[in-house]
Amino acid sequence: MIAGFTNAVARPAGGDVAYSIGGPEGGAPVLLLHGFPQTRAMWGHVAPALAAAGHRVICADMRGYGDSWKPDAIADYSFRNMGAEMLALMQGLGFARFDLVGHDRGARCAHRMALDAPDRVRSLAVMDIVPTHLLLSQLTRQVAAAYYHWFFLAQPAPFPETLIGADPDYYFESCLLGWGAARLADFDAGQLAAYRAAWRDADTIRGMCNDYRAALGPDMDDDAADHAARLACPTLALYGANGVMAREYDMHAVWAARCHELHTQALPGGHFFPDTAPGDTAAALAAFLDA
């Protein structure tokens, strides 16, 4: 799945978590978490570059996605529960403390992990998000129009699952292109094939919908309880220069209010810049991690 990496499965909580691992065994560990509607295959070019720079790189499929398990309960998809599973995965691999990188849903999970376990997360890099509580509690019509999928996917089952299941490629590719400021030709053919293989599975469609259902329920409750908390670790906020987040938010101001030490950087492209500009993404991450 990722060149030079070993694929494995662990069971840190109630089900299987698929992951790929590579890089020198003595390298500083870094966990990479993908977003919607992707899998760990999205790191196919970024992860090897970080491994070549001396990092021990772990790329995991979050629950509900890819080859990882898809529990039934919506509460199982809260970022707190998904984050706890990733923390347990890293502990089981022998990494008590590690650097953490996330894109999209993976970035939201990573944000929660850094808040819940500040002693475990050495540094945090979030890609093309603003905090969930901010997005939902101060929703503008422009963001609502661009990110309509949050509310469609969160509708009760089996409504979104049924509509998406009629043509998964059409729906999920519309997500990659509609608010991603990209073309299909911008995506690596092998990575796109991995995404398609995953999202054509009915259980994966259900899992991804439950991820968004949790965002409007337990995630908002968790975030409301500590929405003023500041991240203790060094934080990097990357965002697509042509994406919705850059257009609708002052990304530096948003994250500066929530971090003790912040670095921000715009990268070429829209929301899916780790796919469409992997070299720039890897270079930005390597510079931050090495610093």
Output the pLDDT for position 227: 84
Output the pLDDT for position 153: 98
Catalytic residue among 99, 222, 271, 275: 271
Instruction: Show contacts of 6-11: CB within 8 Å, 24+ apart.
Output: 9/67, 10/89, 10/92, 10/93
- Per-residue burial over 160-193, b = 16 or more CB atoms within 10 Å of its CB, e = otherwise: bbeebeeebeebbbebbbebbbbeeebbeeebbe
CATH code for the domain in which residue 41 is found: 3.40.50.1820
Tokens 């608010």 — which residue?
179
Catalytic residue among 61, 67, 76, 104: 104
DSSP state of 156: P
In a domain? residue 36: yes
CB contact at 8 A, 77 and 38: no
DSSP state of 216: I
Quick check: is 133 catalytic?
A: no
Quick check: is 188 catalytic?
A: no
H or E stretch covering 102: strand 98-103
Domain of residue 198: give its range: 6-290
Domain count for the chain, please give it: 1
In a domain? residue 146: yes
In a domain? residue 1: no
Q: Which residues contact 75 (CB under 8 A, 6 or more apart)?
A: 81, 214, 217, 218
Give per-10-residue mean pLDDT for the chain (291 aa): 96 96 98 98 98 98 98 98 98 98 98 98 98 96 96 98 98 88 91 98 98 97 92 97 96 97 97 97 98 89
In a domain? residue 263: yes
